[in-house]
Amino acid sequence: MSQPLRLGIAGLGTVGVGVVKIIRQHAAMLTARTGRDISISAVSARSKDKDRGVLLSGYAWEDDPVALATRDDVDVFVELMGGSDGPAKAATEAAIAAGKHVITANKAMLAMHGQALAEAAETAKVSLRYEAAVCGGIPVIKALTEGLAGNDITRVMGVMNGSCNYILTRMEDSGLNYQEIFAEADGLGYLEADPQLDVGGIDAAHKLAILSSIAFGTKVDFDGITLEGIERVSIEDITAAADMGYKIKLLGVAQMTGRGLEQRMQPCLVPASSPLGQLQGGTNMVVIEGDSIEQVVLRGPGAGMGPTASAVMADVCDIARGLNIPVFGVPADTLTTSQPAVSTAPAPYYLRMGLVDKPGALAKIATVLGEAGVSIDRMRQYGHADTAAPVLIVTHKTASASIENALQAMETTGVLAGAPVALRIEEL
């Protein structure tokens, strides 16, 4: 039997406690699967006296996570504090410099500093693993770096934030508006302390940046993502989309094009019958397309104690087995700097607008669309009780620039009762 693998855990919130529980409950199973005993030497958190529902007195305590990361009796530093900078980054850097392996669930830190950390870890010949940083319990990092390593990846897309998916599906199920369901989700504890990380799409974009790097061999480029949250999605949009056979999702898409790396995180319509369209509640889903496998769909819980701690333990087990692969699938010094690209690929679009109730209003809109080169596939006009007539249009495939030109031209027609809404329809 090899020497035990000794962990130092920084951060004893939901995930940290979950890791402690798994190690205690499944010690024999973990040893059988890895050939090594897995133990916890020391822990660190903001408060030593907080009741976390699990006994921690058997572990050494460090107030300073940097001190924890450099202890002689720690082989693997497990960073579960969060935050792109500050103590999490300092302790991670200290652990690598001290020759310790690192496991983190910190998507923000990797999205902002992944390249430098990867280079440092590979120079030190230690592992930096982060399965828990992307989509909770879904093994998408392992899928991309190992299971699909023989594929030229062509596209990665998915629903990567369970809180946003909960809000959008609850709006449809309940018929309540965004503000009401946002308050509900916040009250249930589904949102980050800064809710903008969730509803603004930032959390999901961090994940997309990491997946893009692995999939396309590029340096992590969070700033290159076209980003829009779900705040402007109305219950009218959700109801209208459902009426036309679609669901609205906060969808991340990354693909390499001849112009550069296209990365976008924004509300899109997807067919209601598709796997993404059927995704409910806080569940995540990642769709990976490659030249040999065509399409793989990974679905599972995107957060929570059990799923995220499970992902941490997958990395622990790999380190215990002696697996050490490049952080982003290929050596960090071979990752290329991508050229950010805005999508020019034609796609159908969903348009919703209110028109003033006067003759010729709809004809003016149709003329504007035609002059911009936008062809109408389907159109519906609903009855109305006030002065604005709701109109829905689904276009044929068209370039995003044509849609933008049409929207600008609509503002000059004098027939709009409010700002029109345009959402891309993603074909799967």
Closest by Cα among 398, 397, 360, 394 to 380: 394
pLDDT of residue 303: 85
Give CA–CA dist 329/210, Å, rounded. 11
Mean pLDDT of all residues belonging to the chain: 93
Of 207, 219, 247, 249, catalytic: 207
Looking at residue 386, its pLDDT comes to: 63
Amino acid at 424: R
Given a contact cutoff of 8 angstroms between Cβ atoms, the answer to whether 241 and 350 are in contact is yes
The Cα–Cα gap between 179 and 368 comes to 33
* DSSP three-state, residue 321: coil
Over 80: is that where the pLDDT of 413 sits?
yes
| Coil, helix or strand at residue 93 | helix
The region, left, alpha or beta by phi > 0 then psi within -120 to 50, assigned to residue 125 is left
First to last CA, the chain: 49
pLDDT digits (tens, 9 = 90+) for 104-117: 999 999 999 999 99
What pLDDT is recorded for position 93? 98
Question: Smallest Cα–Cα separation from 286: which of 387, 204, 183?
Answer: 204
What percent of the chain is helix, strand and coil (3-state, nearest 5)? 40, 25, 35
CA 286 centroid distance within chain: 9
Query: SS in 3 state form for 250-309?
Result: EEEEEEEECCEEEEEEEEEEEECCCCCCCCCCCEEEEEEEECCCEEEEEEEECCCHHHHH
pLDDT digits (tens, 9 = 90+) for 12-32: 999 999 999 999 999 999 999
What pLDDT is recorded for position 383?
66
Q: pLDDT at residue 1 above 70?
A: no
Average confidence (pLDDT) over 281-295: 94
How far apart CA 348 and CA 426 sit, in angstroms, is 8
331-361 residue pLDDT tens: 999 999 999 888 777 899 999 988 888 888 8
Q: Quick check: is 207 catalytic?
A: yes
For residue 385, pLDDT over 60 is answered with no
Position 304 pLDDT exceeds 90: no
Question: pLDDT for 60-91, tens place per residue?
Answer: 999 999 999 999 999 999 999 999 999 999 99
Q: What is the DSSP string of 44-86?
A: E-S-SS---SS--TTSEE-SSHHHHHT-TT-SEEEE-S--SSH
- The residue behind tokens 């280079």 is 119
User: In this structure, what token pair is assigned to residue 201?
Assistant: 């799409």
Query: Which backbone phi and psi does 320 adopt, to 5 degrees?
Result: -60, -35
Tell me the mean pLDDT in the region 218-226: 96
pTM above 0.75, yes or no: yes
**H-helix or E-strand spanning residue 16:** helix 14-25
